Amino acid sequence: MRGDFAQLPSINFANFSTNKSLKDGLERFGDEWKARKSVEEMRLAYVAFTRAKQGLFCSTSHFRNGENAVAPSRLYQLCAQYLPSIKGGTVLSDTQIPEGKNPLKENPITGNWPDTDSKYEKRAIAIRESAKLVLAAEPFSDQQILELSKESEIISDLSSLINELRNKSEVTKVLLPARLSVSTLLHLKQDPQQLALKLRRPMPNHIDKFARRGTEFHLWLEDYFKHTSLISLDEVFNIGMASHSDDAPMQELQKAWLASEWANQIPIGVEVGFETIVADTVIRGRIDAVYEKSPGEFEVVGSSL
């Protein structure tokens, strides 16, 4: 049922003929799953690090469900190691491993819920009563506000706070990556602020139907020429699992290609990489296809940067 089942560790018991080989195979299988778990933990950590908008909280515990204490994960140890070098990073709590077994195993926590005598329930009742008073309150008239402003300095204090917030600014510098794609250059020209937000907090991009159809067409050409380098793995993953065999525009593209002069020609090169320098800027890309029209004469079709 999982889409990534082919990447998961597997074991075939038919390959074991003795108890010793079975034991060794099970140990290797367990080590593979530990390595897979580490990869998944890093993947989820990457999502947490890049999606955090204001703050990131990292925590661990000395005990899990077992009786004995366990060491924190390698990922948490890396976070704790580099925390002092991160601006604004703070250690909220750091306790030593307690002696003995898991306290939740020896003395499990029990209680009744809801507890009407708890401070939280009392606080909730007070908030509900305050909300009722707010709903029943009438707004002040201009004359009442004027009289209150004369008797207190509340308005002055509020004005000072508002002005302070207006004058407060925090500028975050976002550096451009060393390598820019064509789409990134277009965003830089059209909307630099939006590009800075995307670089500062990356989010998955929406793939429209035209980009998806182009990827489908490249896959079809790959099968037509039996050439595996017409499309990258990233494009294959982006296309998703849906089938587009009933896509009328796609079928029209295929018919137009088969009717063109290119259908009967064999390219001498596909996805040919190139690199050049323009005004101290290195430009890299790939040529879709290269055809030899005659000895010493070539025709270049399409390119991407």
pLDDT tens digit sequence for 255-276: 888 888 877 888 888 777 888 8
pLDDT tens, position by position, 23-69: 888 998 888 888 888 888 888 888 888 888 888 888 888 888 888 88
pLDDT tens, position by position, 110-127: 877 777 788 888 899 999
Report the distance separating Cα 174 and Cα 197, nearest Å. Answer: 8
pLDDT tens, position by position, 189-206: 899 888 888 887 777 766
- Residue 171, pLDDT > 70, answer no
- Of the pLDDT bands very low, low, confident and very high (cuts 50, 70, 90), residue 249 is confident
pLDDT tens, position by position, 202-238: 777 666 677 777 778 777 877 777 654 444 434 444 4
pLDDT given for residue 170 in this prediction: 62
Average pLDDT, the chain: 79
pLDDT given for residue 168 in this prediction: 66
Residue 196 burial (10 A CB sphere; 0-12, 13-18, 19+): middle
pLDDT given for residue 130 in this prediction: 93
pLDDT given for residue 150 in this prediction: 66
Report the distance separating Cα 63 and Cα 104, nearest Å. Answer: 9
The answer to whether 288 and 305 are in contact (CB under 8 A) is no
pLDDT tens, position by position, 80-100: 888 888 888 888 888 888 777
The answer to whether 272 and 290 are in contact (CB under 8 A) is yes
Alpha-carbon torsion angle 285, 286, 288, 289, nearest 10: 130
Tokens 């329930």, residue? 121
Report the distance separating Cα 136 and Cα 138, nearest Å. Answer: 7
